[in-house]
């Protein structure tokens, strides 16, 4: 089944690129998922691997470059 999912993702990404459409993968939770999507030339991604859902005020700080994460590291 994992092989089928991989084939489906690869096909969607290739089809989108042939139509000059950029692809955003949603729900990325692990580094392995990110690595696979990168190898398939996925353009963008979002998910818990990068950040938990944020309240508006924290999101605004994040995009301004002023947000400090839970471990004291800045998100940029």
- pTM (predicted TM-score): 0.72
Q: Are 16 and 40 in contact (CB under 8 A)?
A: no
pLDDT of residue 37: 96
Cα 71 to chain center, whole Å?
Answer: 21
71, pLDDT greater than 70: no
- Two structure tokens written together for 55: 């309240």
pLDDT of residue 76: 38
Q: Which of 50, 4, 58, 10 is nearest to 27 (CA)?
A: 50
- Average pLDDT value for the chain: 87
Rounded-to-10 torsion of CA 63, 28, 45, 71: 30
Every domain of the chain and the residues it spans: 2-64
**For 16-26, what is each residue's pLDDT tens digit?**
999 999 999 99
């Amino acid at each position: 089944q994992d092989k089928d999912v991989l084939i489906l993702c690869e096909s969607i990404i290739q089809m989108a690129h042939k139509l000059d459409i950029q692809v955003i993968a949603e729900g990325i939770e692990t580094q392995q998922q990110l690595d696979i999507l990168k190898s398939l030339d996925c353009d963008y991604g979002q998910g818990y691997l990068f950040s938990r859902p944020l309240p508006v005020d924290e999101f605004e700080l994040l995009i301004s470059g002023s947000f400090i994460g839970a471990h004291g590291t800045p998100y940029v």
